[in-house]
Structure formats: C-alpha cells, structure tokens
C-alpha cells in the first residue's frame, strides 16, 4: 500500500503557522505570482511556476534551499545570510532562526530572486501550467491543490497538476491534469499512457490519497492564503477523473489530439485555443 504524505505533523504545523504568517500575507498579495505547496514536513515556495525555495525544519531553525542561479547577488554581503555552499552543487542552503525569516524573505530580496528566475528559460510548458493555475483561482467548484506530485511507487514520474472538482457542497473528487503544449511529441500517445497510469495508481491507493489531501487542504486553508473554496475542511469521494490540457500550436495540436483520442477513447482532452 502506497503512503502519501504532503502535509505537516501537528506540532510542526503550529510552528509553521506562527513563523510564516508574514509570508502567507505576501503570497495572498502577490496577485497569484507566488504559490506555496506543502510536502512531508516541508514546503516549496513557487514563483511563476518555478520552485523559488525549499523550506525544511532543522531542529529549532529552518533550512532554506535555493538554486544557485536564483540567489546570485541577492544579499549583497549581508552576513546574516551566509550560505552553506557545496562544490558542484546546484543548490545553496541557509540555516536560519525563525526571527530572521521576515528579513530573508523581505520584498527587496524577493524581487532580486524574481529577476534571477526570469533570466533562466524554463520553457513554455511551465509558463502554460502557471497560467492555468492562476486563471482558475477563487472558484468554489474547482481547486488546484498540488503540482509536480511524485512518490516512490510512481517510479520517478511526476503528475503535473492535481485538482479537486466539486460534487456537492464540501464534497470533491480528484481531477488529474496532464499539461502538454500542442507541439510536444508525447501528445500523440505517451501522455495517454501516463494519465491512465496515474488514474490507476490513485484508484489503487485511494485511502492514502484521500487522507493526504483532506489534511493538505485543511492546513493550507488555515494559512489564509485563499478565501475560496470557503470550506475549512473537505470530504474527497472516490471518483477520480483525468484530463489532458493542450496549449498552443493549433494546427499541429489538432493532428496529435485526433491520434490521441483514437488510441485512448476514454481520455478527455481540452485544447486551450489562442485564436482571435
């Protein structure tokens, strides 16, 4: 049986709420550019779809890991923020006591990190995924709860997006979303196999996924980052569905989508057209 945990233990959750209250407010005021996703007793902070920082408990302190390309020239010699840098490593880490967190994540530093992230080209698919997330906020009937999901039994594969679709009041079911650009060669076949595999996996481990994301939702709701959905807690029912969302490259996408639908008659495909 697969065990999925993407939330905090209760003792760490209370400390998380207290120490990062300032950050929750920044995320809410960021006009959807910042996003926070819970993991197993740590969290990832995202900027426009890119993981800006990984934040873990380190005893009474926090370990903050950031890609070395993102952190370049951010702190201007501020001795409070001396990184633990390992030769050849892609990431640098900072060990900080809670009182230094607001200074570390202050707006001046974040803007420099945003600028550095913008210099790195992560491709159209990340940008398309981010647009899909931000354009579907503040909906009672639909809520994207997680991104880039993996666990041991998924064999290194990453599920793009996991959403909750409303059934009735606070009852929701999972909606697995795979993102592909219209010119991606995986669109013709591979994505269908991937999506079927994810749906089968969740179905076979539904109890674990239900427990995980009911608690994940409850904890994120308590941060105050979002107002809608309005429910403090939800009940996830067993009716997992999936969709392939395709963006751009209209003519090439039409051909690939037709092939995909012929091979996988049970797959739902939604093509986001940009035509005027």
Number of residues assigned to the chain: 276
Which residue intervals of 2-146 are DSSP H helices?
A: 10-19, 21-29, 101-104, 107-119, 124-134
Q: What is the pTM of this model?
A: 0.93
Of the pLDDT bands very low, low, confident and very high (cuts 50, 70, 90), residue 75 is very high
Same domain, 130 and 259: yes
Q: What is the longest distance spanned by two Cα atoms in the chain?
A: 60
Same domain, 262 and 155: yes
Same domain, 89 and 137: no
Which residue intervals of 30-182 are DSSP H helices?
A: 101-104, 107-119, 124-134
Residue 4 lies in a domain: no
Same domain, 155 and 208: yes
**pLDDT tens, 166-221?**
999 999 999 999 999 999 988 888 899 999 999 999 999 999 999 999 999 999 99
End of a domain among 94, 122, 150?
Answer: 122
Same domain, 138 and 258: yes
Same domain, 187 and 138: yes
- What CATH number corresponds to the domain at position 230? 3.40.1350
Same domain, 266 and 199: yes
Domain that holds residue 239: 126-272
Cross-strand pairs, 1:
none
Residue 56 lies in a domain: yes
Same domain, 118 and 80: yes
**pLDDT tens, 211-266?**
999 999 999 999 999 999 999 999 999 999 999 999 988 888 998 999 999 999 88
Residue 176 lies in a domain: yes
């Amino acid at each position: 049986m697969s065990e999925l945990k993407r939330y905090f233990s209760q003792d760490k959750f209370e400390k998380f709420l207290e120490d990062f209250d300032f950050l929750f407010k920044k995320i809410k005021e960021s006009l959807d550019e910042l996003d926070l996703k819970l993991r197993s007793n740590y969290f990832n902070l995202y900027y426009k779809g890119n993981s800006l920082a990984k934040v873990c408990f380190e005893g009474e302190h926090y370990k903050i890991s950031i890609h070395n390309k993102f952190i370049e020239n951010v702190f201007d010699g501020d001795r409070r923020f001396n990184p633990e840098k390992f030769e050849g490593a892609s990431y640098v880490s900072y060990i900080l006591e809670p009182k230094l967190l607001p200074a570390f994540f202050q707006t001046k530093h974040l803007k420099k990190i945003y600028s550095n992230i913008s210099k790195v080209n992560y491709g159209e698919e990340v940008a398309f995924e981010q647009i899909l997330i931000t354009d579907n906020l503040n909906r009672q009937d639909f809520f994207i709860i997680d991104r880039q999901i993996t666990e041991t039994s998924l064999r290194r594969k990453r599920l793009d997006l996991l959403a909750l679709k409303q059934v009735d009041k606070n009852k929701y079911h999972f909606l697995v979303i795979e993102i592909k650009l219209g010119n991606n060669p995986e669109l013709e076949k591979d994505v269908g196999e991937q999506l079927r595999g994810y749906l089968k996996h969740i179905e076979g481990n539904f109890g674990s996924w239900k427990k995980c994301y009911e608690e994940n939702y409850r904890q994120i709701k308590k941060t105050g980052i979002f107002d809608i959905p309005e429910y403090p807690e939800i009940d996830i029912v067993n009716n997992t569905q999936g969709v392939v969302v395709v963006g751009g490259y209209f003519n090439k996408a039409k051909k690939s989508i037709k092939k995909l639908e012929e091979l996988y008659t049970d797959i739902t495909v939604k093509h986001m057209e940009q035509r005027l």
